[in-house]
Amino acid sequence: MATKIFVNLPVKNLQRSIDFFTQLGFTFNPQFTDEHATCMILGENIFAMLLTEERFQDFTKKEIADATKTTEVLIALDVASREEVDELVNKAEAAGGLRYADPQDHGWMYLRSFADLDGHQWEIAFMDESAIPTE
C-alpha cells in the first residue's frame, strides 16, 4: 500500500500559484522547490506538486489539459469543521480563485468548491461520519 500521495498539477506561473496558495495558509517543502516546481503540503502524507507546464510535460506524452476548459481532476480535501470549509474557500475567493459550484449541505457533509488560478477544481468538505444516514 502507498504511504504518501503526490498529486501533480500543471501551472502557468509557478510564483503566482505559490502566492495564491500561501494566502490560503498552505506551506511548501523547500527541498522539492525550484524555479520549475514546488511541493505544497496538504497534510501529513499528502502533497500537491505544482509544476510549470514545461516541467509537467516531462512526465507525460499527452497534451496538458486546460483546466479552465476541461476538468482533468477534482481535488477533494476534508477539513475539521464547517467553519474551516468556509474560511478556506473564502480565502481562495479573496486571493483570486473562483467559485465553481454552489455550497452543498447534506447534514452530515458540508461542501464548498473553488477553482484556483489555473482552473483546477478544489472541493473542501467537512464530514461528520457519525451522522451519515444508515437507511
Report the alpha-carbon distance of residue 21 to residue 15 in Å, rounded.
10
In terms of Cα–Cα distance, which of 96, 133, 130 is closest to 116?
Answer: 96
Cβ atoms < 10 Å from Cβ of 19: 13
The domain 1-60: what is its CATH number?
A: 3.10.180.10
Q: Do domains 1-60 and 71-135 have the same CATH topology?
A: yes
Residue with cell 509537467: 56
Fold for the domain defined by 71-135: 2,3-Dihydroxybiphenyl 1,2-Dioxygenase; domain 1 (3.10.180)
Tens-digit pLDDT string for the chain (135 aa): 889 999 999 999 999 999 999 999 999 999 999 999 999 999 999 999 999 999 999 999 999 999 999 988 999 999 999 999 999 999 999 999 999 899 999 999 999 999 999 999 999 999 998 888 887
Check: CB of residue 14 under 8 Å from CB of residue 117: no
What are the residue boundaries of the structural domains of the chain, listed by start? 1-60, 71-135
> Is this model's pTM higher than 0.95 or not?
no
Check: CB of residue 29 under 8 Å from CB of residue 95: no
Element (H, E) at 18: helix 14-23
